[in-house]
Amino acid sequence: MHLLDLTLETPAANLALDEALLETAEAGEGPGNVLRLWESPNMAAIVGRSSRVDEEVDRAECGRREIPVLRRASGGAAVVIGPGCLMYSVVLSCQEHPPLRMIGEAHRHVLGLVARALRTLLPQVDAAGTSDLAIKGRKFSGNSLRLKRDHLLYHGTLLYDFPLEAIAGCLKSPPRQPEYRAGRSHGEFVMNLPLDAAELRSALIETWHAESKQQAWPESRTRRLVAGRYAREEWNLQR
């Protein structure tokens, strides 16, 4: 597994890089198995590919806080990211592990490994719902995926020192909720891990055996995706 520990300057560029890594692997132009770690220097509200922005995001509050609303290439519901929220992304070869082509198996496999990594530090960590990680019913990680013919992009959040009130302020109650949420508000439902970024990074790197550091990254493809998609309101605010 290759390790790419790289944060770009803007949330849009960071989202584009995740998709560029998937496209590069699919085109056979880069490694097929990559773990990327990053942490956005600025806050952003990120909706899923099929999300309706006004159903999930309080755009007026985001505007007041000067928090951009962006759309990612994977599914799932809206999240808020920024300092204090470590992001991980894995690109995996489905040719090497064909069961990953099944959505349920992809969730089980990746979340199982991330949970295993975190349990070395916090034994109470468990998978919950379809694609969450939680401790005693409180969520600290939301995850989503995009599957192409031969490769999978799976990425998610790990809250550890995040201003949780920003989630409650910027996001509406999600239209789709896992049963274990039991109708709780964002403030009652989400939590920060009692860990720091260095501990999280080390645990993930060790569990994924990401020992080969990747220096090159698909810069030109990332720029094209920013210009053609992630920096455009037509993409981010589509209905």
pLDDT of residue 169: 96
Contact 87, 14 (CB under 8 A): yes
pLDDT of residue 70: 98
Distance from chain centroid for Cα 220: 22
Residue 18, CA distances (Å) to 3, 14, 43, 181, 219 in order: 13, 7, 17, 28, 11
Find, among 204, 106, 112, the residue nearest to 148 by Cα. Answer: 106
Rounded to the nearest 5 percent, the helix, strand and coil shares of the chain are 35, 25, 40
pLDDT of residue 212: 78
Listed by start position, the domains of the chain span 2-236
Q: From CA 104, how far away is CA 130, in angstroms rounded?
A: 8
Q: From CA 76, how far away is CA 9, in angstroms rounded?
A: 24
pLDDT of residue 30: 87
pLDDT of residue 214: 79
Q: Write the Ramachandran bin of 68: left for phi over 0, alpha for psi from -120 to 50, otherwise beta.
A: beta
Instruction: For domain 2-236, give the fold.
Output: BirA Bifunctional Protein; domain 2 (3.30.930)
Classify 4 as helix, strand or coil. strand
Q: From CA 90, how far away is CA 34, in angstroms rounded?
A: 5
pLDDT of residue 120: 95
Which residues pair with residue 70 across a beta bridge?
Answer: 46
pLDDT tens digit at each of 239 positions of the chain: 999 999 999 999 999 999 999 999 999 998 889 999 999 999 999 999 999 999 999 999 999 999 999 999 999 999 999 999 999 999 999 999 999 999 999 999 999 999 999 999 999 999 999 999 999 999 999 999 999 999 999 999 999 999 999 999 999 998 889 999 999 999 999 999 999 999 999 999 999 999 878 788 999 999 999 999 999 999 999 87
